[in-house]
């Protein structure tokens, strides 16, 4: 990587973070935050963490920003200045500065940046790189670590997304024709983006391509950057785009609320189900190698590889549904009839 | 290959949560039985594991059959085996208890509620059982996210309280993750056993020090240790009854467990107490936490809120005990994790029964509560006696060890704080007894005969029974103290000191 | 066969049966008390021969800490105390019936049940083989007597019961508990032993602080400045006061102090250091001050309460001089004072039941109308003052002997001064009740004796005071056995 | 020399970003700004992990392999660190889940109190 480029990016990131916190318009702040995330994922890509960069581009710069916009759409967007208690801010500043200084004291103690033989790179990580092929036959080590060596983390990560979806539904969802008293027609902007012909047509064309790409990302995660998360987020984003360019009811015609919930649960079920099957076949939870007993024409190594694909599909289901579900909840303010 | 019980206790509620969502969408009333069954399976599995640990010593379980530093492993030793039993059993009882209360408070969200309920238990069990620092973070987040939602379900004032909780919880989790990062950069491993092996030679490292401090700080935020206790009271007070009953006893205790785990298993007592040697400052903070919590509890006019501040004070007990730096203090702290989980569960369940029948828990309006709800108040009395530390309830024994630890370490202020908090608990307790006896608080003249013939209006049996079981457990734990200490805590203490 | 746990659980079972029987069938309910009391007394008598032969029965129920069990033993001192508690429970219950029913008190079931639990706790204290068990029952007693003190449920009762618990729980948690933990931390044991548990090697400063913590920690013994719960608790119904002041609560306090002084510190350690003097000074101050305050009280029950504070200090003083005779004397005094003081309280209650009067100034001429009550009152006061032919004389005699044995002449002076004060605050009451002209008498013919259940118990206990003057051999034997004399 | 500076510059920026986020979470009054602060804090941590896993002159952690399934001996130093990446994948997902919950709460709070301003909300609640 080019260090000058890196230097500029790192500086820019700080500036963008500050701007997004300074801007009085919340919509603007969200957009700046999106830009911040995007710069961040450039940095990560520069450091060789393509999978992370990929995810951040989809999640941080994409979906997160859309979540914020959906929230702001239903509420107020301008911050009205108010006289503030500066002593509190100063106190917090002090806390933060002390914490930061404390964190910085350790920087000199870190191994040299980029050292391939630092403990982080040498100990466990090196094992993964050297054994991934022989253990799992998956060349993308990120995928093999994600979906096999540390698949237990990943399963719970999927569960986290599922939890968020269920939790948000529980908090925000209202039955229709029930208390519409609190702020029904709240802050609807005069401009309705779904009426724009250009946007409609453009997204109509884009959505299928996005979805095909997403499927590719899921399926080809063994050999190239990508996997269940990235694919799931892109799938979700395509649906979000669809609903943004038309409106929510159009989306719900294709994919109802019920399916959002059920599919997200099924995603987790696929993942944990694979684990349970492994247990039933007499090995430890998530030990894919025993799946060779039931998968046709596989040895224990290939069984791992195949099981990873199954698991990634489960992840993709859950993530996609969670992204769409969270977005629709936020955008429609829990009523699931109209909204952004 | 060993038994599957360790993973079964985590997986049962996880899979149950999926089925609750799938089935509950169509038939919400099935949610509760599924939740209870899965938690029962968990309890049985955890008891089985506990017995295995007692007879065969610490157990390991490799997920995905990957050997330890490369895959994720479960480590069940003396420290967490009993905690696992406590979590799963308390959760089962709370689940039984929750039925009527949730039906009343959140009738249209049964499926969502129980999904999150069992997932919270999954998270808590997972945190306690895992031997991997990063896996712990993921489960910490599961537990955190579910508890946010479970609290926010109550709507109303709970929303803002939860928002603050989300902020503090995220800071806590981020600090933990960052701390793990600082350790990771020096060691290259996330496995706790492996970490502790490598860290032995890294005691002088500044990065390791920062990492340790960050993890501890993160846990303090999570457990609402003074001075970052502000979020706890509102969040717990405005939450739905069943959520408080589940979260208040278990969530903070698990954070305390993580703290002790990091102090003893990842680092060593040698490092924490001899190398760093600022543990006495922490004990002083714990004393302040106890004082502040007790004072705040004393000034409340609402029973539930009062109880939440007692939780803050109890956290001071455990942190202080763990940082006293001697075996007695550590024994007290670990014993108190179990004791306090049962105590808080009992009290919040009793408070929940009162809410169920009475609508609220403002102290001024609880005239005749003893006659109206005799069984509920029986449970409450036992819980409160344990809080005060009256033998033979378990609260007495934890206090005993904590005080002996304080004396051994010469930390008189901590001992005084403990005694002060006992007295405050006694005052709070007798304030409620007085309401039972005199009908009112303060200067109002009580009328001896006005509430003599209040009809008994007890909360439903499905709520009262689990509470009484917990109340009985308080005495049971107290009676079996010496067994618990010698079988469970002693091996742990002798391994770490 | 007869076992301390069995004996104390009989009282618990009685409490349970009382609760079950309930308000409707009150005769059946009360009969449980008497049945339980009878059985317990029988059981204690069965234990007596063994103890007199010098056997000490030990029984451990449950191990709680290393070296600390919930354990019981039947030693002479404990048995002596258990005898007093159970023996006086029966007349007190009879008296309660005579007191509660005419006044139509509410919640009698609760009252009798709590009473039984309190007795159970008292017996538990008596038979505790170590400090931990003792503490356990000590707390149980505080809690179970709270409903009794708060019985009237009015503003005054709230005041009194608050004070009661604040003092008792406050001191036991704040002082006695840390002291106990310290002792355990220092010695690793809490079991009472005649030699004390401190082998030596404990600094004098620490010993003094432990002594103070224990003396004040067991605030039931009413040592100043932690005495004011006692007059405050006078709001309770009179039978409760009788129980609190004569049988259970205060006696448990001094019993605990005596146990700690003899079983934890050991007489030798006390005698061989300044500890004895310190304890003596504290007790003496309480003794004199309480007697002086008692002089100024007009409310009969309050005067009795301060008299109790003083008499408790006698007992502690007797033990604190740290001579063998002194300790024996203080054990005897527990018994003697119990009989005397309970008589006095019974009489106060009988007067209240018959006339509704509480103040001494209203009792002029009462002797003509209530001769039996006032006779009993007279005997009771003689015993408390320590004049023959009552049991109080015996114990006071030995108390003085004990002080002389320990070469503490100033203690003898304290005894004598306070005895004079005792006489000064009791005898005028009796005198004015009997010897007054008809014009001065505030009572005409309308007042009669209290109903029989309220009259018999004071006469019983008064005759007990007289009998103890002649038949105190067994008690004395027990006391002698208790301190290896 | 310059390279070394960049190396520590990297970590310094990490701390700066995290502290910006932390400060926003603690001191900002606007709930949405708090949420943004939370996201910034999390990205800071992610950057920290990614930085520690970076290797000079390495390529993506996708192993070269022949099509017949045979593979060469792998030199770990040639590939970027996969472990930190998957840890951070998890962290990103956890972060977006938390963000979603926080935003939902913020939205509901706004509807109750017609404001995102913390003090204003607390004033209103304490009435």
Angle at A234 between CA A228 and CA A239, to 5 degrees: 125
Q: Which of B3, B17, B18 to mutate to test the interface with A (most CBs of A within 10 A)?
A: B18
Instruction: Report d(CA B48, CA B41) in Å as an integer.
Output: 11
Q: Which of A67-71, B185-189, B273-277 has the lowest mean pLDDT?
A: B273-277
Q: Roughly how many angstroms between the first and final C-alpha of chain C, as a whole number?
A: 28
Provide, as residue numbers in chain D, all residues whose Cβ is less than 8 Å from the Cβ of B171.
22, 25-26, 41
For residues A110 and B185, is the Cβ–Cβ distance under 8 A?
yes
- Residue D22 inside a domain? The answer is yes
Helix (H, G, I), strand (E, B) or coil at C76: helix
**Domain count for chain C:** 2
Nearest to B59 by CA among B98, B113, B8: B8
Q: B447: distance to nearest CA of chain A, Å?
A: 44
- CA distances for B72 relative to A162, B63, B189, C96, D115, angstroms: 22, 6, 11, 70, 45
State residue B443's pLDDT score: 45
* Per-residue pLDDT tens over the stretch A285-298: 888 888 888 877 77
**Any idea which residue has 């308000």 for tokens?**
C23
Report CB contact under 8 Å: A262, B187.
no
Instruction: Report d(CA D105, CA B149) in Å as an integer.
Output: 9
- Residue D91 inside a domain? The answer is yes
Q: Are strands B59-62 and C68-74 parallel, antiparallel or unpaired?
A: unpaired
Instruction: Report d(CA C223, CA C282) in Å as an integer.
Output: 8
Which partners does chain A have (≥3 C-beta pairs < 8 Å)? B, D
Domain match, C283 and C235 both: no
The most confident of B119-123, B321-325, C254-258, by mean pLDDT: B119-123
What is the number of other CB atoms lying within 10 angstroms of the CB of residue D8?
Answer: 15
Report CB contact under 8 Å: C155, B446.
yes
Helix (H, G, I), strand (E, B) or coil at C323: coil
> DSSP character for C192?
-
Domain match, C236 and C282 both: no
Domain that holds residue C336: 274-485
Residue finishing a domain among C234, C264, C294:
C264
Domain match, C56 and C114 both: yes
Residue B271 pLDDT exceeds 70: yes
Give the relative orientation of helices C4-21 and C108-127 as an angle to the nearest 10 degrees. 170
Instruction: Report d(CA B422, CA B387) in Å as an integer.
Output: 7
Residue B216 pLDDT exceeds 90: yes
Q: C424: distance to nearest CA of chain B, Å?
A: 38
CB-neighbour burial class of residue B410 (10 A; exposed 0-12, middle 13-18, buried 19+)? exposed
State residue D70's pLDDT score: 52
Q: Encoding tokens for residue B263? A: 């102090």
Task: Please check whether residue B119 touches A, CB under 8 A.
Answer: yes
For residues B271-296, average pLDDT: 89
Of B21, B64, B210, the CB nearest to A166: B21
Residue finishing a domain among C203, C238, C264:
C264
State residue C375's pLDDT score: 84
State residue A183's pLDDT score: 46
Query: What's chain A's length in residues?
Result: 340
State residue B342's pLDDT score: 92
Instruction: Report d(CA C313, CA C425) in Å as an integer.
Output: 17
Report the CATH number at residue D11.
1.10.287.3510
Domain match, C32 and C165 both: yes
For residues C12 and C33, is the Cβ–Cβ distance under 8 A?
no
Which pLDDT band holds residue A185 (cuts at 50, 70, 90)? very low
For residues B266 and B187, is the Cβ–Cβ distance under 8 A?
no
Nearest to B463 by CA among B163, B94, B74, B47: B94
Q: A275: distance to nearest CA of chain D, Å?
A: 19
Nearest to B148 by CA among B136, B159, B156: B159
Domain match, C392 and C258 both: no
Q: Between A and B, how many residue pairs show a Cβ–Cβ distance under 8 A?
A: 171
- Residue D74 inside a domain? The answer is no
Residue A158 pLDDT exceeds 80: yes
**Domain count for chain D:** 1
Q: What b-and-e string marks burial along B154-174, b requiring 16 or more CB atoms within 10 Å of the CB?
A: beeebbbbbbbbbbbbbbbbb
- CA distances for A285 relative to A135, A148, B68, B150, C215, angstroms: 17, 11, 15, 29, 62
Residue finishing a domain among C264, C297, C314:
C264
Residue B192 or residue A255, greater confidence = B192
Instruction: Report d(CA B352, CA B463) in Å as an integer.
Output: 9
Q: Encoding tokens for residue D78? A: 């040639």
Instruction: Report d(CA D123, CA A276) in Å as an integer.
Output: 51
Report CB contact under 8 Å: B190, A124.
yes
State residue B472's pLDDT score: 92
Instruction: Report d(CA C363, CA C365) in Å as an integer.
Output: 6
Domain match, C259 and C320 both: no
For residues A163-187, average pLDDT: 68
Q: Encoding tokens for residue D67? A: 């099509």
State residue B336's pLDDT score: 92
Task: Please check whether residue B335 touches C, CB under 8 A.
Answer: no
* Per-residue pLDDT tens over the stretch A58-113: 888 888 999 998 888 888 777 777 777 788 888 989 999 999 999 988 888 888 77
Residue C121 region, left (φ>0) first, then alpha (ψ -120 to 50), else beta?
Answer: alpha
Which pLDDT band holds residue B411 (cuts at 50, 70, 90)? confident
- Residue B231 inside a domain? The answer is no
- Residue D15 inside a domain? The answer is yes
Which pLDDT band holds residue A180 (cuts at 50, 70, 90)? very low
For residues B402-419, average pLDDT: 89
Report CB contact under 8 Å: A56, D19.
no
Domain match, C61 and C156 both: yes
Nearest to C396 by CA among C341, C317, C459, C322: C317
**Domain count for chain B:** 1
Task: Please check whether residue B407 touches C, CB under 8 A.
Answer: yes
Domain that holds residue D94: 2-57+79-126
**Quick check: bond before C225 cis, omega within 30?**
yes
Helix (H, G, I), strand (E, B) or coil at C250: helix
Residue A339 pLDDT exceeds 70: no
CB-neighbour burial class of residue A191 (10 A; exposed 0-12, middle 13-18, buried 19+)? exposed
State residue B357's pLDDT score: 84
- CA distances for C83 relative to A155, B258, C44, C194, angstroms: 70, 54, 7, 22
Residue A269 pLDDT exceeds 90: yes
Q: Which residue of B has its CA nearest to D91?
A: B138
State residue B246's pLDDT score: 92
Q: Encoding tokens for residue B260? A: 């002790």
- Residue D50 inside a domain? The answer is yes
Domain that holds residue B354: 278-497
Of B145, B174, B185, the CB nearest to D101: B145
Provide, as residue numbers in chain B, all residues whose Cβ is less than 8 Å from the Cβ of D112.
156, 159
Residues of chain C with pLDDT under 50: none
CB-neighbour burial class of residue B125 (10 A; exposed 0-12, middle 13-18, buried 19+)? buried
Residue A184 pLDDT exceeds 50: no
Helix (H, G, I), strand (E, B) or coil at C270: helix
State residue A338's pLDDT score: 66
Q: Which of B446, B451, B453 to mutate to test the interface with C (most CBs of C within 10 A)?
A: B446
CA gyration radius, chain C:
21
Mean pLDDT rounded to a whole number for chain B: 87
State residue B439's pLDDT score: 64
Residue B91 pLDDT exceeds 90: yes
Q: Which of A1, A2, A20, A21 to mutate to test the interface with D (most CBs of D within 10 A)?
A: A21
Task: Please check whether residue D81 touches B, CB under 8 A.
Answer: no
- Residue D64 inside a domain? The answer is no
- Residue D8 inside a domain? The answer is yes
Q: Between B and D, how many residue pairs show a Cβ–Cβ distance under 8 A?
A: 69
For residues B242-246, average pLDDT: 91
**Any idea which residue has 């701007």 for tokens?**
A19
- Residue C269 inside a domain? The answer is no
Provide, as residue numbers in chain B, all residues whose Cβ is less than 8 Å from the Cβ of C161.
434, 437
Domain match, C188 and C306 both: no
Give the relative orientation of helices C177-187 and B412-438 as an angle to the nearest 10 degrees. 140
Domain segments of chain A as ranges: 1-79, 137-176+191-340
- Residue D68 inside a domain? The answer is no
Task: Please check whether residue A113 touches B, CB under 8 A.
Answer: no
Report CB contact under 8 Å: A283, B65.
yes
Nearest to C375 by CA among C386, C362, C390, C361: C390
Task: Please check whether residue A105 touches B, CB under 8 A.
Answer: yes
Q: Encoding tokens for residue C164? A: 């009661």
State residue A130's pLDDT score: 85
Q: Roughly how many angstroms between the first and final C-alpha of chain B, as a whole number?
A: 32
Report CB contact under 8 Å: C158, B403.
no
Q: Which of A55-64, B119-128, B166-175, C20-29 has the lowest mean pLDDT?
A: C20-29
Which pLDDT band holds residue B123 (cuts at 50, 70, 90)? very high
ipTM of the complex: 0.86
Provide, as residue numbers in chain D, all residues whose Cβ is less than 8 Å from the Cβ of A85.
119
Provide, as residue numbers in chain D, all residues whose Cβ is less than 8 Å from the Cβ of B215.
none
CA gyration radius, chain B:
22
Q: Are strands C57-65 and C68-74 parallel, antiparallel or unpaired?
A: antiparallel
Provide, as residue numbers in chain B, all residues whose Cβ is less than 8 Å from the Cβ of A109.
186, 205-207
A 153-212: CB under 8 A from B: 153, 156-157, 159-160, 162-164, 166-171, 175
CB-neighbour burial class of residue A320 (10 A; exposed 0-12, middle 13-18, buried 19+)? buried
- Residue C348 inside a domain? The answer is yes
């Amino acid at each position: 990587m080019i260090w000058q480029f890196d230097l500029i990016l790192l500086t820019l990131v700080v500036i963008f973070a500050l701007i997004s916190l300074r801007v009085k318009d919340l919509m603007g702040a969200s957009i700046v935050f999106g830009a911040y995330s995007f710069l961040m994922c450039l940095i990560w890509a520069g450091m060789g963490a393509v999978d992370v960069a990929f995810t951040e581009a989809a999640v941080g710069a994409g979906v997160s920003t859309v979540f914020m916009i959906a929230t702001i759409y239903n509420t107020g967007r301008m911050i009205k200045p108010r006289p503030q208690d500066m002593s509190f801010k100063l106190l917090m500043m002090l806390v933060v500065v002390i914490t930061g200084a404390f964190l910085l004291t350790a920087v000199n103690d870190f191994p040299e940046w980029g050292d391939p033989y630092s403990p982080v790179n040498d100990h466990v990580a090196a094992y993964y790189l050297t054994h991934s092929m022989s253990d799992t036959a998956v060349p993308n080590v990120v995928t093999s670590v994600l979906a096999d060596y540390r698949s237990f983390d990943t399963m719970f990560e999927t569960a986290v997304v599922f939890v968020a979806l269920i939790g948000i539904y529980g908090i925000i969802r209202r039955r229709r024709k029930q208390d519409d008293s609190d702020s029904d027609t709240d802050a609807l902007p005069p401009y309705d983006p779904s009426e724009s012909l250009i946007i409609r047509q453009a997204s109509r064309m884009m959505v299928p391509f996005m979805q095909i790409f997403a499927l590719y990302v899921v399926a080809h995660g063994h050999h190239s950057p990508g996997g269940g998360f990235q694919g799931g987020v892109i799938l979700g984003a395509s649906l979000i785009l669809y609903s943004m360019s038309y409106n929510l009811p159009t989306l719900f015609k294709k994919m109802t609320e019920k399916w959002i919930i059920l599919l997200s649960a099924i995603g987790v079920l696929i993942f944990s189900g694979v684990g349970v099957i492994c247990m039933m076949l007499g090995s430890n939870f998530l030990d894919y190698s025993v799946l060779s007993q039931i998968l046709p024409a596989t040895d224990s190594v290939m069984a791992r590889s195949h099981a990873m694909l199954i698991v990634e599909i489960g992840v993709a289901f859950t993530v996609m549904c969670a992204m769409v579900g969270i977005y629709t909840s936020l955008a429609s303010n829990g009523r699931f009839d109209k909204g952004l | 290959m060993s038994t599957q019980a360790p993973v079964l206790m985590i997986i049962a509620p996880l899979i149950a949560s999926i089925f609750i969502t799938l089935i509950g969408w169509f038939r919400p009333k099935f949610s509760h039985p599924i939740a209870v069954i899965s938690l029962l399976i968990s309890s049985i599995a955890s008891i089985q594991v506990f017995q295995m640990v007692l007879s065969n010593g610490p157990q390991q379980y490799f997920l995905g059959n990957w050997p330890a530093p490369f895959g994720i492993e479960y480590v069940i030793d003396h420290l967490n085996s009993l905690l696992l039993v406590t979590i799963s059993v308390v959760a089962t009882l709370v689940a039984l208890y929750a039925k009527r209360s949730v039906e009343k408070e959140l009738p249209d969200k049964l499926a969502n509620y129980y999904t999150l309920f069992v997932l919270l238990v999954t998270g808590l069990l997972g945190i306690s059982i895992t031997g991997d620092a990063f896996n712990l973070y993921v489960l910490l987040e599961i537990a955190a996210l579910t508890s946010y939602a479970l609290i926010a379900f109550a709507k109303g004032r709970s929303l803002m309280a939860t928002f603050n909780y989300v902020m503090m919880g995220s800071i806590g989790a981020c600090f933990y993750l960052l701390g793990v990062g600082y350790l990771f950069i020096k060691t290259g491993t996330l496995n706790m056993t492996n970490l502790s092996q490598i860290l032995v030679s890294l005691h002088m490292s500044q990065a390791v020090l920062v990492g340790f401090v960050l993890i501890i700080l993160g846990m303090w935020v999570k457990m609402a240790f003074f001075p970052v206790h502000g979020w706890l009271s509102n969040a717990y007070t405005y939450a739905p009854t069943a959520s408080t009953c589940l979260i208040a006893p278990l969530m903070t205790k698990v954070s305390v467990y993580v703290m002790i785990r990091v102090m003893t298993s990842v680092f060593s007592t040698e490092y924490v107490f001899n190398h760093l040697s600022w543990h006495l400052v922490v004990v002083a903070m714990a004393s302040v936490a106890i004082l502040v919590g007790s004072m705040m509890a004393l000034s409340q006019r609402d029973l539930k809120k009062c109880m939440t501040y007692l939780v803050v004070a109890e956290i001071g007990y455990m942190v202080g005990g763990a940082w006293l730096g001697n075996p007695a203090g550590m024994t007290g702290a670990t014993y108190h994790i179990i004791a306090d989980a049962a105590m808080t569960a009992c009290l919040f369940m009793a408070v929940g029964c009162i809410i169920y029948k009475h609508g609220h828990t403002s102290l001024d309006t609880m005239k005749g509560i003893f006659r109206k709800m005799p069984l509920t108040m029986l449970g409450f009395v036992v819980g409160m006696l344990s809080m005060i530390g009256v033998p033979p309830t378990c609260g007495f024994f934890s206090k005993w060890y904590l005080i002996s630890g304080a004396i051994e370490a010469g930390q008189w202020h901590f001992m005084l704080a403990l005694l002060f908090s006992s007295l405050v608990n006694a005052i709070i307790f007798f304030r409620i007894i007085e309401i039972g006896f005199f009908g009112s608080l303060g200067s109002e003249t009580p009328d001896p005969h006005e509430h003599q013939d209040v009809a008994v209006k007890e909360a439903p049996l499905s709520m009262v029974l689990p509470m009484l079981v917990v109340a009985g457990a308080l005495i049971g734990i107290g009676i079996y103290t010496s067994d618990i200490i010698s079988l469970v805590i002693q091996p742990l203490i002798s391994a770490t000191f | 066969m007869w076992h301390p746990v069995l004996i104390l659980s009989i009282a618990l079972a009685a409490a349970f049966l009382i609760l079950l029987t309930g308000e409707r069938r009150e005769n059946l309910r009360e009969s449980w008390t008497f049945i339980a009391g009878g059985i317990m007394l029988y059981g204690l008598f069965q234990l007596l021969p063994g103890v007199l032969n010098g056997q000490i029965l030990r029984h451990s129920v449950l191990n709680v800490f290393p070296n600390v069990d919930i354990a019981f033993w039947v030693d002479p001192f404990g048995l002596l105390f258990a005898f007093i508690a159970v023996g006086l429970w029966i007349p007190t219950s009879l008296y309660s019936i005579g007191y509660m029913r005419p006044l139509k008190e509410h919640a009698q079931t609760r009252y009798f049940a709590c009473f039984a639990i309190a007795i159970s706790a008292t017996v538990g204290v008596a038979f505790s083989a170590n400090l931990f068990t003792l503490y356990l029952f000590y707390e149980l007693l505080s809690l179970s007597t709270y409903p009794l003190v708060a019985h009237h449920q009015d503003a005054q009762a709230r005041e009194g019961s608050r004070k009661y618990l604040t003092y008792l729980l406050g001191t036991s948690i704040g002082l006695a508990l840390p002291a106990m933990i310290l002792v355990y931390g220092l010695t690793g044991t809490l079991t009472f032993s005649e030699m004390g548990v401190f082998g030596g090697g404990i600094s004098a400063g620490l010993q003094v602080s432990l002594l103070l913590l224990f003396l004040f920690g067991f605030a039931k013994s009413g040592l100043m400045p932690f005495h004011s719960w006692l007059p405050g608790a006078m709001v309770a119904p009179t039978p409760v006061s009788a129980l609190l002041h004569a049988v259970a609560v205060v006696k448990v306090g001094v019993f605990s102090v005596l146990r700690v002084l003899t079983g934890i510190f050991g007489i030798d350690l006390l005698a061989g250091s300044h500890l004895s003097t310190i304890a003596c000074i504290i007790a003496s101050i309480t003794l004199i001050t309480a007697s002086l305050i008692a002089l100024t009280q007009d409310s009969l029950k309050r005067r009795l309460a301060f008299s109790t504070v003083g008499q408790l200090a006698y007992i502690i003083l007797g033990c604190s001089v740290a001579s063998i005779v002194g300790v024996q004397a203080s054990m005897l005094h527990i018994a003697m004072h119990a009989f005397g003081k309970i008589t006095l309280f019974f009489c106060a209650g009988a007067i209240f039941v018959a006339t509704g009067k509480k103040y001494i100034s209203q009792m002029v001429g009462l002797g003509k109308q209530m001769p039996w009550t006032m006779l009993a009152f007279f005997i009771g006061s003689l015993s408390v003052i320590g004049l023959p032919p009552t049991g109080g004389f015996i114990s006071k005699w030995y108390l003085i002997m004990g002080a002389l044995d320990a070469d503490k002449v100033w203690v003898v002076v304290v005894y004598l001064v306070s005895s004079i004060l005792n006489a000064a605050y009791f005898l005028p009451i009796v005198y004015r009740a009997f010897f007054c002209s008809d014009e001065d008498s505030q009572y005409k013919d309308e007042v009669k004796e209290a109903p029989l259940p309220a009259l018999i118990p004071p006469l019983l206990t008064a005759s007990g005071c007289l009998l103890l003057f002649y038949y105190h051999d067994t008690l004395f034997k027990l006391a002698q056995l208790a301190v290896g004399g | 020399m310059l390279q070394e500076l960049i190396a520590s510059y990297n970590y310094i920026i990490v701390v700066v970003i995290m502290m910006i986020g932390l400060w926003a979470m603690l001191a900002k009054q606007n709930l949405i700004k708090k949420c943004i602060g939370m996201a910034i804090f999390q990205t800071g941590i992610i950057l920290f992990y990614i930085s520690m896993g970076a290797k000079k002159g390495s390529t993506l952690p996708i192993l070269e392999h022949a099509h017949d399934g045979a593979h060469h001996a792998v030199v770990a130093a040639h590939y970027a660190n996969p472990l930190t990446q998957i840890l951070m994948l998890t962290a990103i997902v956890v972060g977006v889940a938390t963000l979603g919950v926080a935003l939902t709460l913020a939205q509901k709070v706004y509807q109750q109190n017609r404001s995102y301003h913390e003090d204003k909300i607390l004033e209103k609640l304490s009435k």
